[in-house]
């Protein structure tokens, strides 16, 4: 069984080769940088030369605790520092495009937080800025690098479940929305900020759907204004389907976060450990039951790392590998404009009550 999983575990090895490592600077000293980016960079041995946040006290606090040598007093000062090769941006999505254009114009390579923007039009302009400035730029869709999900992806690629007929992701959570005061009044909340991860990985697994349908809910007493439950379905050719059901106001006290991939020759099922007690969580699980390889029923793949912070090594490492040896990015700005298109289609469906066609038909 250990031999069987060798290829899968190599695909899930997100260590960054010493020769590929380059220094980075960070824009934004918020919760995700403090709690996931910087711990991941410490594990990976990535050098952070400086950080900028409009909230200078926050930047100083984060820099002090993570031993970052420089707090920039302006974006211009950060961009003028020749030591940083990659700029890692992690600010709320509505503010990100304007910063992104400036960083691109300074010819720094970029890792942008998800969602990269709140509109498809901005995403397209950002992809154009990447091309115009000849830089490498990825979006931090790090669920594509989360060990359980990445292992499942590789098992599918190896043909262990045959042709995939359905991907389902279901989460029922108590999400602490109070952690993001800027998100309280967002009309577009759940898919834009959270389920975008699931919709992005379904695109990664299955490509663009023909049509999508989405309904959304809110519940009395919830903190944010936007939708906190979404149910999205996808239709592909030949009866292939996908489903995302996400609820963030679970009053039953039984958090769960599960995914399942069914194929015509087997199935993969797993859990996203992070979400059982966000942002602490626990290790993921992933199991495979295959008619192609000798799994003898449901067989666990031994996941040893976590979505937070470990998967963040994957996204920054992919940018470093692309710079060093030209390896294609797994979640480039250009490719993940498709995720913004999908998100837009889901909101159109939610607003209209109708299913929405995407580009393939
Ligand atoms: N899994 C994930 O990838 C994940 C998880 C959480 C958050 N996020 C995303 O990361 C981004 C930041 O989230 P967060 O939880 O850290 O939010 P946060 O509110 O904790 O931090 C945002 C920070 O950005 C700073 N900021 C705002 N405008 C700025 C500007 N013009 N220049 C420099 N700094 C500026 C703020 O002062 C604040 O410190 C959001 O887009 C969010 O959706 C991603």
Share of the chain above pLDDT 70, in %: 99
For residues 231 and 205, give the distance between their C-alpha atoms in angstroms, rounded to a whole number.
19
Q: Whose CA is nearest to atom 5 of ligand 1?
A: 32
- Please tell me the distance between residue 231's alpha carbon and the centre of ligand 1 in angstroms: 26
- Please tell me the distance between residue 31's alpha carbon and the centre of ligand 1 in angstroms: 7
At residue 333, the pLDDT reads: 98
Which atom of ligand 1 is found nearest the CA of 312? 3
Q: Which residue has the higher pLDDT, 335 or 296?
A: 335
- Please tell me the distance between residue 269's alpha carbon and the centre of ligand 1 in angstroms: 31
Whether residues 93 and 152 share a domain: the answer is: no
Whether residues 346 and 216 share a domain: the answer is: yes
Asked if the structure places residue 179 within a domain, the reply is: yes
Asked if the structure places residue 6 within a domain, the reply is: no
- Would you say residue 279 has pLDDT above 80? no
pLDDT in tens, 61-118: 999 999 999 999 999 999 999 999 999 999 999 999 999 999 999 999 999 999 999 9
At residue 277, the pLDDT reads: 85
Whether residues 126 and 163 share a domain: the answer is: no
Q: Which domain holds residue 248?
A: 143-307+340-357
Whether residues 301 and 202 share a domain: the answer is: yes
- Residue 359: pLDDT band (50, 70, 90) is confident
Asked if the structure places residue 3 within a domain, the reply is: no
For residues 244 and 315, give the distance between their C-alpha atoms in angstroms, rounded to a whole number.
23
- Please tell me the distance between residue 117's alpha carbon and the centre of ligand 1 in angstroms: 12
pLDDT in tens, 202-260: 999 999 999 999 999 999 999 999 999 999 999 999 999 999 999 999 999 899 999 99
Asked if the structure places residue 335 within a domain, the reply is: no
User: Total structural domains in the chain?
Assistant: 2
Q: Quick check: CB of 92 below 6 Å from ligand 1?
A: yes
Q: 214 pairs with which residues across the strands?
A: 232
Average pLDDT for the chain: 96
At residue 2, the pLDDT reads: 65
pLDDT in tens, 67-81: 999 999 999 999 999
Whether residues 157 and 298 share a domain: the answer is: yes
Sheet (strand 266-271) strand order: 299-301, 285-290, 266-271, 256-263, 164-172, 241-247, 229-235, 211-217, 356-357
Q: Quick check: CB of 144 below 6 Å from ligand 1?
A: no
Whether residues 96 and 220 share a domain: the answer is: no
Cβ contacts of residue 326 below 8 Å, gap of 6+? none
- Would you say residue 266 has pLDDT above 70? yes
For residues 341 and 358, give the distance between their C-alpha atoms in angstroms, rounded to a whole number.
8
For residues 228 and 350, give the distance between their C-alpha atoms in angstroms, rounded to a whole number.
13
φ, ψ dihedrals at 225, nearest 5°: -80, -35
φ, ψ dihedrals at 43, nearest 5°: -60, -40
Q: Is the dihedral of CA 76, 81, 85, 89 positive or negative?
A: negative
At residue 282, the pLDDT reads: 85
Asked if the structure places residue 4 within a domain, the reply is: no
pLDDT in tens, 150-184: 999 999 999 999 999 999 999 999 999 999 999 99
Strand, coil or helix: what is 78? helix
Q: Whose CA is nearest to atom 10 of ligand 1?
A: 90
């Amino acid at each position: 069984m250990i031999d069987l999983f060798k290829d899968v575990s190599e695909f899930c090895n997100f260590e960054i080769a010493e020769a590929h490592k380059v220094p980075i600077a960070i824009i934004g000293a918020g919760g995700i940088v403090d709690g996931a980016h910087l711990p991941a960079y410490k594990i990976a041995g990535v050098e952070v030369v400086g950080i900028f946040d409009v909230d200078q006290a926050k930047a100083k606090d984060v820099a002090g605790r993570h031993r970052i040598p420089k707090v920039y007093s302006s974006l211009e000062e950060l961009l003028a520092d020749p030591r940083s090769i990659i700029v890692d941006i992690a600010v709320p999505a509505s503010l990100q495009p304007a910063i992104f254009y400036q960083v691109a114009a300074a010819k720094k390579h970029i890792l942008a937080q998800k969602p990269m923007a709140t509109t498809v039009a901005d995403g397209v302009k950002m992809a154009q800025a990447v091309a115009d400035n000849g830089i490498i730029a990825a979006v931090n869709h790090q669920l594509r690098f989360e060990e359980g999900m990445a292992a499942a992806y590789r098992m599918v690629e190896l043909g262990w479940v045959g042709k995939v007929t359905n991907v389902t992701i279901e989460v029922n959570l108590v999400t602490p929305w109070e952690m993001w005061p800027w998100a309280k009044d967002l009309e577009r909340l759940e898919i834009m900020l959270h389920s975008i991860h699931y919709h992005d990985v379904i695109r990664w697994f299955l490509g663009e759907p023909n049509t999508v349908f989405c309904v959304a809910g809110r519940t009395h007493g919830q903190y944010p204004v936007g939708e906190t439950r979404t149910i999205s379905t996808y239709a592909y050719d030949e009866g292939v389907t996908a489903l995302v059901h996400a609820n963030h106001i679970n009053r039953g006290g039984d958090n769960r976060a599960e995914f399942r991939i069914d194929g015509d020759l087997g199935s993969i099922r797993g859990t996203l450990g992070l979400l059982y007690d966000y942002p602490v969580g626990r290790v993921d699980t992933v199991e495979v039951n295959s008619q192609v390889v000798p799994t003898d029923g449901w067989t666990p793949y031994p996941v040893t790392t976590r979505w937070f912070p470990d998967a963040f090594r994957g996204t920054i490492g992919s940018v470093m590998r692309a710079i060093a040896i030209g390896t294609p990015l797994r979640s480039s700005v250009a490719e993940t404009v498709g995720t913004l298109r999908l998100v837009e289609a889901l909101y159109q469906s939610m607003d209209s009550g109708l299913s929405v066609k995407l580009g393939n038909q």
